[in-house]
Structure 1
């Protein structure tokens, strides 16, 4: 089969997909569409890719649609793509409500199509390395996980100067309205459910702690704290904010010590293990941490740009692999829907939601072939 993609939306994130495309051989962009004609032309000229005149024009191509539109438009646009018989890889979240995400899931199932969701970092080397170490029992039985996705006090950042390669400004107003939990929690939720499968219960709280952000509200919570109870995994605490100092660390506490990784947005981030020791009656983790590595090569890497060093095309590549091998897509189906429900539960928790049972499930992800 051909490995053709169409880009629906060419805002800030679309440039990150194009940078990743340069490192991912065999995938070709055959069409791009955006309702902002000026942005569309500028993007297509910069990357030398063909512009489409309308959504119908884009859907006339036999290609996987990368839905890179505003999150509030994901449901309607993905629905239109699925109804046109196109496989869809959507930026996060699948939809702004679990009800709409389930409707898309059902539509894709009925039509025999793949509906997959970003982020695809669970397919990356760092996540796969840590997953391999967990299966190998490097840290012993995992008892608890602490994961952080804090990005600093963003409302005071120089975000007006943040521009994509083709000249798209960082969409601060939309980012503040959608919220850091919907934008970022999936980076570690994806890792966690890829290793352990379903979250049974979410106990979370979320709040807007910084009032009067720039732009027109209402704005989403800028801080969330969640405790995730898995069907078959350790209790996990996950924080997301654009308030606390930058920290993207994840630590898996096991019987033998601690597995850790410091950079969720770097596919090549180092995974380390610190053995637990007793020194002069003091219990501690060894200051000498062992690097855990997989055999190389793994997957194509993308050099750092801005805050990230991630190959955004790992997800679309996985969709094509699944189609060619006639198997379920690792980041599609139950996985994509469950990640969406868990993320929305945290985002919408507020002050009084309490314990929230999940209504969707997924199985742990099959490791990538190079991580076995």
Structure 2
């Protein structure tokens, strides 16, 4: 296999998940890790038997083909542009950026330079979500009519050791968790055409309940309860609720309603989970997942697909146009709330191609 050389910038919490999962995809050749804090890079390098290097050195390395950008959200575009200017493809952790205009600049510059942009989440490539996609494509629920997408919790200050960034510009439940839900819905239904939303901030300050900063208070600069509607280009209307202000609820993460039935789709933050289906006039039944990548954490599959796509000269699935569309949708909820009107979504990315059933040894076709 003609492997693809990868350099990682950003060695925080999520990098461990990527590095572990990457071991299951032979096309990925992780060459080096870097971080603005050298000790973080050195720790990850020691853990996974890799080379730690400086950011400038990694970007200047002619062997590196893809930069995996795992920096904090507000640095995604800046680091992505540096990679693009160095002639590298770039794959970013979600979201693509914290402002649509900046993220659009990254995607446009990459196209000018002839390099690719990829972006998480890639959980929609998981076996359960691809099975749900197959059911929708085969007409199991008939014509899609609507649905719900729900993530609600009391806030990440309960468990995260340093949660302040969740409440700064670029944080909040929509930019943090919305990418999983909206990306999966685009996988299932196609692109969004317009949005209506309400965004509120019930509390202007939060108290940290986790160690080591228990008892410290942090200011809130972003909406923490966002709700609204998405109309899809195919006519389906989906309700969405993303919140850091809810003690508990009984909604499932994703439901799809069609003229012939209803589909319960598992949590889009994971690759697997139980699908349930109800035909019109019938009973709830469990749907078996026969697609691969449903039995673990494969948080490098989008990167691997991008690497295979580069070698195979085909489009990759978790691509920049898709991520830009999702960011446009997420930003539109805030605009709708502020302006008191529907917001038309301008972008219309291609629906990502479904994965085949015959994937072997991490080879994605």
- Residue 172 of structure 1 is matched in structure 2 by 163
Mean Cα displacement is larger for which, 230-239 or 340-349?
340-349
Deviation track 1:63-120 (CA, whole Å, cap 9, x = no partner) reads: 3111111111111110000010100101112122111111111111111111011101
Q: CA separation in 1, counterparts of 2:55 and 2:11?
A: 13
Identify if the C-alpha distance between structure 1 residues 260 and 364 changes in structure 2 by more than 3 Å, giving closer, same or farther: same
Alignment match of 2:345 (pick from 358, 368, 371): 358
- Residue 219 of structure 1 is matched in structure 2 by 221
- Residue 324 of structure 1 is matched in structure 2 by 311
- Residue 250 of structure 1 is matched in structure 2 by 254
Query: Does 2:115 correspond to 1:125?
Result: no
- Residue 15 of structure 2 is matched in structure 1 by 14
Gaps of 5+ in 1: 161-170, 278-284, 303-309
Query: Does 2:334 correspond to 1:340?
Result: no
Q: CA separation in 1, counterparts of 2:103 and 2:145?
A: 32
Question: How do 1:192-231 and structure 2 match up within 5 A?
Answer: 192-214=185-207, 216-231=218-233
Q: CA separation in 1, counterparts of 2:187 and 2:334?
A: 20
- Residue 293 of structure 2 is matched in structure 1 by 299
Q: CA separation in 1, counterparts of 2:293 and 2:81?
A: 31
Residues matched between the structures, number: 344
TM-fit CA distance, 1:28: 2.4
- Residue 48 of structure 1 is matched in structure 2 by 49
- Residue 280 of structure 2 is matched in structure 1 by 276
Q: CA separation in 2, counterparts of 1:333 and 1:212?
A: 34
Report the TM-score when normalising by structure 2.
0.87
Q: CA separation in 2, counterparts of 1:347 and 1:86?
A: 33
Q: CA separation in 2, counterparts of 1:155 and 1:191?
A: 22
Gaps of 5+ in 2: 208-216, 359-364
- Residue 102 of structure 1 is matched in structure 2 by 104
Q: Contact 1:248 / 1:264 at 8 angstroms: preserved in 2?
A: no
Q: CA separation in 1, counterparts of 2:17 and 2:234?
A: 35
Q: CA separation in 2, counterparts of 1:192 and 1:35?
A: 35
Q: CA separation in 2, counterparts of 1:102 and 1:357?
A: 17
Query: Does 2:305 correspond to 1:312?
Result: no
Q: Contact 1:205 / 1:225 at 8 angstroms: preserved in 2?
A: yes
Q: CA separation in 2, counterparts of 1:13 and 1:248?
A: 25
Q: Contact 2:265 / 2:275 at 8 angstroms: preserved in 1?
A: yes
Instruction: Specify the SS of the correspondent of 2:256.
Output: strand
Q: CA separation in 1, counterparts of 2:184 and 2:356?
A: 17
Deviation track 1:316-340 (CA, whole Å, cap 9, x = no partner) reads: 0110121122111111142122112
Mean Cα displacement is larger for which, 126-135 or 37-46?
37-46
Report the TM-score when normalising by structure 1.
0.86
- Residue 175 of structure 2 is matched in structure 1 by 182
Query: Does 2:261 correspond to 1:261?
Result: no
Deviation track 1:28-68 (CA, whole Å, cap 9, x = no partner) reads: 21111111122222222222221012333344142311111
CA RMSD in angstroms, aligned pairs only: 2.2
